Every structure is written in structure tokens, then in C-alpha cells.
Structure 1
Amino acid sequence: MDDRERRWSRDMQAALGGDGVAYDRLLREIAPAIRRVVQRRLSALGAPASDCEDIVQETLLAVHLKRQSWRSGDPLSPWLWTIARNKMIDHLRRRGRRVEVPVEDFADLLAAPEERPGTEAEEVARHLARLPDKQRDVLQAVAVEGASIGETAARLKMTPGAVRVALHRAFASLSARLRSDATEERT
């Protein structure tokens, strides 16, 4: 296991224990790594580079919502790259493209472990209900329904920048609430 992998796994483990600083550090480090991989794959597929940021945001949201499915003894990268790969494929399929992306082209890492079964839909709905209306609408459109930033902006009569800001604030709000919930569960 290389230094980056150890650092990412350590930060995710700490984040799952309620360490918000470690979680913030992890997200700040994985976002550019995801961006580089997605940009490279979009270019190789001849897909528009403008889709990159939407895919990165969708991946980060999925990481946030599914972080409990990561097994702490396993490396983080395979789990992360599998999520990113699936989000990229989903995004391109919604655009009407037939996509086949070999996993070895996406990242030269081991396959991610199977996800644990759970009540993800109920948990997502519960967390969305706690957000302010605008943030909830943006997060619902982008993360749950799979709309792009541009589509969400048009539907909600917002600018793409305002959608990104609302999405970022929704992530921050969810993160704070989940940290608070984790702290309460430990006490």
C-alpha cells in the first residue's frame, strides 16, 4: 500500500469516527485525483470535457452518501475508483452514449468490495428532508435524479454557478449533520 493509499484510508477511517477535519482533508485530496482520472477518460472516449465537473460532483456525493459501505480494513482507492467509474458511465449513458469502460483503464487497482445492504433510499430521503428547500431541490435533482448542473439550473431557474454553490452548501450541511449524528450515536 503506497503513502497516498494509507493517508486516504486513515482519513476515511477517522472521518467515519466523526473527525470532520480528516473528512474535509480527504475530500480536498480525492477531488483533484477524481477530476484527473475523469478528464483523461472523457478525452479518451471523445466525450465533452464540460461533463467532467458534473461527474466529479456526482462522485463526491456518492462517496459521501455511501461512505459507511467502505470496509475500514480495505484500501480506499478501489472503492473510490469504482464509484467514479460508475458515475461517469451513468452520466454518459444519460447523454445517450453507449459506454464501455474497462475497469483497468480507469484505475489499475483491485476491485472494490461488495456494498453492504441497507436502507439507503430511506436514509437519503431522511437527510434530504432536513435541508433548506433550495439545497434539497438541487441535491435531489443532481444526485438522486441524475440531472446535470446545467439541467438543474434550467429547471430551477438558477445560474449554473448558483446550482454549484447550493450543491456545495448542501454537502457541507449534510456533512455537519452527519458528524453531529455520529457524535450523538457514540454518546
Structure 2
Amino acid sequence: MAKNEKKEEGKKGGKGSKIIIILLIVIILALAGAVAYFAVFAKKGSTTKTAQVQQAAVQSNEEATYTFEEILTNLADQDAQRYIKVKVSLGYDSSNSKLKSELEDTKEDIKAPILESEIVKILRNQKAADFSDPKKVEEIKKQILDNVNPHLKNGVISNVYFSELLIQ
């Protein structure tokens, strides 16, 4: 009987150590997964200039806008001829008078046609269905920000607004 008791104790000890090893492996894999996630997907410590301006505009809640004339352009749909008719407004920090004068300048360094051309270029690459998906609309607005801001010398645009949006 002593032999049977020792065998049972050995089996119990073996099961316990196997469970501990499995738990350690699971914990190590979980930690490795967490480290990999943060290494790949986490935002970097420094924010971009546009992100800083957007945060400042939201915090100050004082935003001015520059609105373009109505834009009418074709969309990229292949199945049918579609077009978009939209008014686009660019939001910026209202305390930045230099940016305001740069956007509204009509004599020296005229920005409006350049900025409008960038907006049209982005809109023409979209499909009608893209404007029914809120996430895609936000991506379009981000593309506009990314393409418009490099042309500005005295500040950055923090928001893009669509109004009078019509897709035919």
C-alpha cells in the first residue's frame, strides 16, 4: 500500500507542476502580446502639429472658419457617372490673425485656389458610398487636412466641415 500512496502523490505533484508551467506560459504569452501591441499600435509620445492645433482649438472652443465657394466635381464611381456638390469650410484657431489674412489674401500669395485644388483632388478620388460611412468621411477630412496644411505658412487648419453636401 505504501507504493500506491507514493505513486498517487507523484501523480498529484506532476499535475500541479504541469498546471504551473501552463499558467507561466500563458502569462508570458499575454505579456509578450501586450508588449507587441504597444510597440506596434501605441501612439508615439510626440503629437503632430495638426493634432496639437486640433486639441488647442477644442480646448479654447474659439474657432474661425474659411469657407470656399460651392465645389462641384466628379466622383470615382465606375458603375455610373456621379458627382458631389459641397461647401467646404476649414476651421482654424480664431486668435491666429496671420493665418486668417493668409487664407483671405487676394493680392500677394493667394492660397484659396491652391487649397481648393487639393480638396477637389481628394474628393475626385472618392466614391459616393464613402460619404455614407462616418468613418470614411472622417478619413476624407483627415486627408484634406494633411494635403492643405503643408501649403500654409502662418498656422494650420484644425478641422474640415462639409455643408450643403449633395451626391448625385
TM-score, structure 2 length as denominator?
0.34
Higher relative helix content: 1
State the structure with more CA Rg: 2
Higher relative strand content: 2
TM-score, structure 1 length as denominator?
0.31
